[in-house]
């Protein structure tokens, strides 16, 4: 039972969770639902990238059945310490500390979402969720993107981050596949006229300034989504529409009535 922020073990754990981006080596899954999403995931990408090392349980709660299926060291935390870990006024009763394995330099998949400069972790998580919902297999994160393994990004994805391979963009990636950038500018083509066949790399730009000052591949096609009454869409909403359109044309996902 840990009750003090001055506890050496707790301080070491909190310090290990602070780095972000490429410096991040540890993260935490907050809450029963997110933990079960990871535990039940059949994605080798999720299991090979996120390695469980420790349970955190709120004081006064009995062991969850999944703790018995995944026997690890368990720390019982006071409410104040669990609030500190979760950065929430209503802390979860269960959390799972994960170690991040290194990215793998494997061939790119056919269906890729490529967020560029998405700065808010929750928005990035929602984008990953929209892409995973329509059969996208991988995410390539461009310059200026938020940390996909930030606890807020993982919560925003609602487990969808476990269905995708996630890696940072390298210049060599531009040589592979069909790059399409969502854009509402006058130099864009309506998305219904754009080729969305694989290998597709669907790009979405910064929440505020889009593709300004961004380096896009020469072969990239800018695609727009027609709207009525508003100038532009939220990045995650636009991604959802574009991913649905690619799925509709290529008939990948299961039809649910």
10 Å CB burial of residue 2 (0-12, 13-18, 19+) is middle
Query: How many Cβ atoms are within 10 Å of 44's Cβ, its own excluded?
Result: 9
- Per-residue pLDDT tens for 121-172? 999 999 999 999 999 999 999 998 999 999 999 988 888 888 899 999 999 9
Q: Report the candidate in 114, 85, 83, 116 with the shortest Cα–Cα distance to residue 98.
A: 85
pTM over the 0.75 mark = yes
Compute the distance between CA of residue 196 and CA of residue 203 in angstroms, rounded to an integer.
Answer: 12
- Tell the burial category of 14 from Cβ atoms under 10 Å away from its Cβ (0-12, 13-18, 19+): middle
* Domains within the chain, CATH numbers bracketed: 8-100 (3.30.1330.30), 111-250 (3.40.1280.10)
Q: Is the pLDDT of residue 255 over 60?
A: no
10-32 residue pLDDT tens: 999 999 999 998 899 999 999 99
């Amino acid at each position: 039972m840990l009750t003090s922020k001055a506890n050496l073990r707790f301080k070491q754990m909190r310090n290990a969770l602070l780095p972000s981006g490429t410096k991040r080596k540890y993260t935490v899954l907050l809450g029963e639902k997110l933990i079960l999403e990871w535990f039940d995931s059949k994605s080798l990408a999720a299991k090979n990238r996120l390695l469980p090392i420790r349970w955190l349980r709120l004081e006064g709660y009995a062991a969850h059945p999944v703790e018995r299926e995944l026997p690890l060291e368990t720390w019982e935390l006071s409410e104040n310490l669990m609030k500190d870990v979760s950065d929430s006024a209503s802390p979860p009763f269960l959390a799972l500390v994960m170690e991040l394995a290194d990215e793998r330099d494997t061939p790119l998949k056919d269906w890729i979402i490529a967020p560029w400069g998405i700065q808010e972790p929750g928005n990035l998580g929602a984008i990953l969720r929209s892409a995973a919902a329509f059969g996208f297999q991988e995410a390539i994160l461009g310059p200026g993107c938020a940390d996909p393994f930030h606890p807020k990004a993982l919560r925003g994805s609602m487990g969808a981050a476990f269905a995708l391979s996630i890696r940072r963009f390298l210049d060599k990636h531009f040589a592979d596949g069909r790059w399409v950038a969502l854009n509402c500018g006058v130099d864009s083509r309506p998305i219904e006229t754009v080729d969305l066949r694989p290998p597709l790399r669907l790009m979405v730009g910064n929440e505020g300034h889009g593709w300004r000052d961004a380096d896009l591949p020469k072969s990239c096609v800018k695609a727009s989504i027609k709207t009525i009454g508003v100038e532009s869409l939220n990045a995650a909403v636009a991604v959802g529409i574009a991913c649905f359109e690619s799925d509709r044309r290529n008939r990948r996902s299961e039809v649910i009535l």
